[in-house]
Amino acid sequence: NRTLTLSIAYIGDDIVEKSAALIPLGQNDALLSAITSLTEAQNGLAEAYGDGPGNVSEVSWSVIIDPPPTATQWPTWAQVQGDIVEVLPETATRFPTFPEIGGKVSVEQLPDNIDTDNKRTQALSPPVRQNPSLTHILSDYPTLKKTVDIPTQSPNNKREMLFDDVRQVAYVALTDEWLPISNIVEKREFLLTTNGKRIWFNSAYTGSLTLRVYPMGNGGNGLPDNPALDDYQWHTVTATLTGVTSFGSSFIGLIDYIETDDGFETLSTARSVFPSIDAYYGESDGSKAPNQFMQFTLRQDGDWYSEDVMPATPYSMGASWSQDTQDSRLFTINEASGSTDALRLFSDSWDKFDFEMVVVSTVSKPMALTNSNTSEYTIPFEGTYRFIIENERLYFKRQADFAPLTGTVRIEALNLRVKSYE
């Protein structure tokens, strides 16, 4: 189906629409008759709207067969209206000025802080708030990483934080070094008394006595009235003394403070004389005792931890064990298979202490850390581990006969643990 469209140019702003019938191509007589009628109608229309006879182009077959481009497509703007630049207003061809859009700003419209007498204030622009992009924010955010190794190399200006869950410490990268963030809340010293040492009064004392103690293996023996005290717990003891010159000869443990009728003394700093209670710390014969104050740190878990107590020489070593000559904390093991082929750090008097121990091992088979050989205190395979060992003898050995130990073990840290008092 093809439709013939006829177009004619005429002068005027109106568009005249007329219904028409479709004439199939091939019926030439009917087509010519229709064209003739259309031409006569258009001439009459032109004459009616004009000043004289109509002047309509004669339609020829060449126009029908080869119509102009405007008869076969939507006309362009230029074909209908002409050049758009000639139609647009002048302000539409450039960036308009402020007065052309909003007019002139009067003095009454200016903010109060604008001084119209000072031209500089009128030229100042309001501050621009700079918001960093998301990419910039993410690039500035430090990278969080987990580690089991103490960083020693320079971070080389990297934005990074390292978390050590074993040692319970974090590290923040500075420009060329690492800043450790510890979990220490407080530091202080405690007097750790041993058998044979005691508190001496400069003169026989009569009156009340109150002290807070932490027994470590011998209960309340040696304290006034020898009270029954549980080991490894804090206790506050009160007694009435008459003509007493000394106390604590067989007490083993920590003394936090001593209070008498004459004064109060907190034993938190290393010294041998306690003037507030007119007393001193001495040997069994009354001579001054050596310094037995020990540094402790209070951590976020609520417990006190002593300074490192790792001995320079272990109490005993099995035949398969050897101590490094340069690093006394490092031990090498070569096929340790017997139950007594072990490393023992302390004598019997240390068996009931509570310890915190950090161990780095390259042994691939299970290694027990205590004489009880329990899984709770066993290194399953190589790596870095932290243990809280309570009331056990430290005794490094193989866990099973069929799994002898070969490799190295380094005791990185060994500290006494003391529960915090309320």
Rounded Cα distance, 91 and 369, in Å: 90
pLDDT the model gives residue 264: 94
pLDDT the model gives residue 77: 65
Q: Are 182 and 202 in contact (CB under 8 A)?
A: no
Q: Which amino acid is at 18?
A: K
Q: Which residues on adjacent β-strands are paired with residue 323?
A: 331
Q: Which helix (H) or strand (E) holds 38?
A: helix 28-49
Which tokens in the block code for residue 179? 């800043």
Rounded Cα distance, 185 and 60, in Å: 107
Using the predicted structure, report yes or no on whether residue 1 has a pLDDT greater than 80.
no
Q: How many CB atoms lie within 10 A of CB 59?
A: 17
Among the listed residues 261, 196, 215, the one whose alpha carbon sits nearest the alpha carbon of residue 354: 215
Q: How many CB atoms lie within 10 A of CB 298?
A: 17
**pLDDT digit string, tens, across residues 95-124:** 777 777 766 767 777 777 666 666 555 555
**What secondary structure letter does DSSP report for 57?**
P
Q: Which residues on adjacent β-strands are paired with residue 161?
A: 144, 172
More confident residue, 58 or 241: 241
Among the listed residues 288, 242, 289, 292, the one whose alpha carbon sits nearest the alpha carbon of residue 224: 242
Which tokens in the block code for residue 309? 């107590």
Residue ranges of E strands in 105-252: 143-146, 160-164, 169-173, 178-181, 184-193, 198-215, 235-247
**pLDDT digit string, tens, across residues 316-354:** 999 999 999 999 999 999 999 999 999 999 998 888 889
Residues whose CB is less than 8 angstroms from the CB of residue 354 and which lie 6 or more positions away in sequence, other chains included: 232, 388, 389, 390, 391, 416, 417, 418
Please state which of the ranges 3-12, 236-245, 363-372 shows the lowest mean pLDDT.
Answer: 3-12
Count of CA atoms in the C-beta half-sphere (13 A) of 401: 0
Q: Are 223 and 241 in contact (CB under 8 A)?
A: no
Domains and CATH numbers, the chain: 139-181 (no CATH), 188-300 (no CATH), 316-419 (2.60.120)
For the chain, the farthest-separated pair of C-alpha atoms sits apart, in whole angstroms, at 152
Which tokens in the block code for residue 36? 């003739």
pTM: 0.62
pLDDT the model gives residue 251: 93
- Cα 238–chain centre separation: 48
More confident residue, 197 or 37: 197
For residues 14-21, give the mean pLDDT. Answer: 52
